[in-house]
Amino acid sequence: MSDELRYSMRFELTAEQVELRDALRRYLQAEVAPIVDEYERESRMVPAGIVRKMHEFGLLGGMLGEEDGGFNLPATTYGMLIAEVARVWPSLRSIVSTSNLAVSVLTDGGSDYLKRRYLPRVLSGEAIASFALSEPNIGSDAANLETRATASGQGWTVNGRKLYISLGPVCELGVVFVRTGGTGGPGDVSCLVFESGMPGFSVQSLPKMGMHSCPLGELLFEDVEIPRENLIGAEGKGFALAKKYLTIGRCVVAFSALGIAEAACDAAIKYAAERMQFGRPIAGFQLVQQMVADMLTLVETSRLLCFRAADALDRGSPDSAYLCSMAKRHATDAVLRVAELSLQVHGGAGYTSLFPVERYYRDARHLSIVEGTNQIQALLIAQKALGVSALK
């Protein structure tokens, strides 16, 4: 572990970051917050106009270079904005970050043709992109995926299934990880761009616990012909691309957890000040204060780790993957405890859907599973210190 990992300290947002955050916060409070509960209750997709608006705040293609139509934001700024969105509407956050994950892979490895063809519609919010790695038999062991692409006359014929794909039912395009070699393992994984209109492609929606305005699906590829030029980067380089962007994705998931935890904590503080029992606000009771202290501490430790990991990414630190795993694991576990405590502060009201706290819990629950489960993060963290991998 480097000395830098132990000693670096910088905590303030810049004036520019505060301005950007406050502008986004004003928009979210005025235009988005009032419709969230209704849309989630009715499982309606986030309105297209709100997705498009995210472009104006630098959120679509936030970390991509300006030459590719992005905003060249540092991870610290992008993460801060992601937390703001998650605080108000986790489903909207997922739409933004999933599309960004897909276009980051496409931009990093893709040709100028692929960038010209696909980036503008996704970055403007006109089209939604998905990232299809997981499969029915392959989750944590992602390098051993089974979806096959065989070379055909014009390109690739793809057969297989991709499971639990965020936005699968509504995406116009996506990046799909496929096996192109015969020996197995990460060196045989390639990445292709697919379009949902391609013959042989179909999708099935999956019911789920929360995030009802961000659909989840199973993608079926049955003899889907994908043109040769839709290969991203070189054959056999797909897994390296997935790994690189899942590291950044973990930091983004951590910021998402932070946003929900902040919302849950704020809700508890507000409720505790208003709710009267024994002739006084429950905020005055020591056991309620203990719950609030626990929540605040978990939010603060999550925030510190999130910015620490993002700062490491921005500086290209060799410790960035380690810190992203740690931030992801801590913040996504912490948010569940914070939501749980907030629900407890609300008493019976917290269990009803008349208050948003039960939704915070449901919307946060998947975060310890996605982008590598928290058990896998624990193994990656320990591996750095111990020098031994439990995954081989």
Catalytic residues: 371
Is the CB of residue 239 less than 8 Å from the CB of residue 116? no
Q: How are beta strands 173-179 and 129-132 bridged, if at all?
A: parallel
Nearer to ligand FAD, 119 or 211 (CB): 211
Choose the stretch contacting ligand FAD; rule: CB under 6 A; options: 72-80, 278-286, 310-318, 375-383. 375-383
Using rule CB under 6 A, residue 373 touches ligand FAD: yes
Nearer to ligand FAD, 110 or 215 (CB): 215
Cα pseudo-dihedral 359, 289, 306, 368, rounded to 10 = -40
Nearer to ligand FAD, 88 or 171 (CB): 171
Q: Which residue is nearest to ligand FAD (CB)?
A: 139
Q: What angle do the packed helices 75-88 and 238-274 form, to 10 degrees?
A: 50
Choose the stretch contacting ligand FAD; rule: CB under 6 A; options: 115-123, 127-135, 191-199, 282-290. 127-135
Using rule CB under 6 A, residue 132 touches ligand FAD: yes
Query: What letter does residue 43 receive in the DSSP assignment?
Result: T
- Residue 60's identity, in one-letter code, is L
Using rule CB under 6 A, residue 20 touches ligand FAD: no
Nearest to 146 by CA among 159, 156, 127: 159
Q: How far is the CB of 205 from ligand FAD (least distance, A)?
A: 12
- The total number of residues written for the chain in this structure: 392
Nearer to ligand FAD, 72 or 383 (CB): 383
Using rule CB under 6 A, residue 368 touches ligand FAD: no
Q: Restricting to residues 168-207, which ones interact with ligand FAD according to CB under 6 A?
A: none
Q: How far is the CB of 332 from ligand FAD (least distance, A)?
A: 12
For residue 126, is it left (φ>0), alpha (ψ between -120 and 50) or beta? alpha
Is the CB of residue 147 less than 8 Å from the CB of residue 179? yes
Query: What letter does residue 46 receive in the DSSP assignment?
Result: P
Using rule CB under 6 A, residue 133 touches ligand FAD: yes
Using rule CB under 6 A, residue 53 touches ligand FAD: no
Is the CB of residue 329 less than 8 Å from the CB of residue 375? no
Nearest to 261 by CA among 309, 217, 327: 327
Using rule CB under 6 A, residue 131 touches ligand FAD: yes
# of chain residues touching ligand FAD (CB under 6 A):
19
Q: Restricting to residues 140-159, which ones interact with ligand FAD according to CB under 6 A?
A: 140
Using rule CB under 6 A, residue 375 touches ligand FAD: yes
- Name every residue whose Cβ is closer than 8 Å to that of residue 185 and which is 6 or more positions away in sequence: 143, 144
Among 114, 165, 173, 258, interactor with ligand FAD by CB under 6 A: 165
Nearer to ligand FAD, 207 or 279 (CB): 207
Using rule CB under 6 A, residue 76 touches ligand FAD: no
Choose the stretch contacting ligand FAD; rule: CB under 6 A; options: 117-125, 265-273, 285-293, 364-372. 364-372
For residue 13, is it left (φ>0), alpha (ψ between -120 and 50) or beta? beta
Using rule CB under 6 A, residue 107 touches ligand FAD: no
Q: How far is the CB of 132 from ligand FAD (least distance, A)?
A: 6
Query: What distance in Å separates the CA atoms of residue 131 and residue 213, rounded to the nearest whole number?
Result: 18
Among 47, 74, 139, 187, interactor with ligand FAD by CB under 6 A: 139
Sign of dihedral through CA atoms 238, 244, 246, 252?
Answer: negative
| Per-residue contact flags (x/-) with ligand FAD for residues 207 to 226, judged by CB under 6 A | ---------x----------
Nearer to ligand FAD, 133 or 326 (CB): 133
Using rule CB under 6 A, residue 166 touches ligand FAD: yes
Using rule CB under 6 A, residue 92 touches ligand FAD: no
Using rule CB under 6 A, residue 98 touches ligand FAD: yes
Q: Please give the structure tokens belonging to residue 215.
A: 């659909």
Using a CB cutoff of 8 Å and minimum separation of 24, what contacts does 217-220 make? Answer: 217/165, 217/167, 217/168, 217/169, 218/136, 218/161, 218/162, 218/163, 218/164, 218/165, 218/168, 219/130, 219/132, 219/161, 219/162, 219/165, 219/168, 219/174, 219/176, 220/161
What residues make contact with ligand FAD under the rule CB under 6 A? 98, 131-134, 139-140, 164-166, 216, 366, 369-370, 373, 375-376, 379, 391
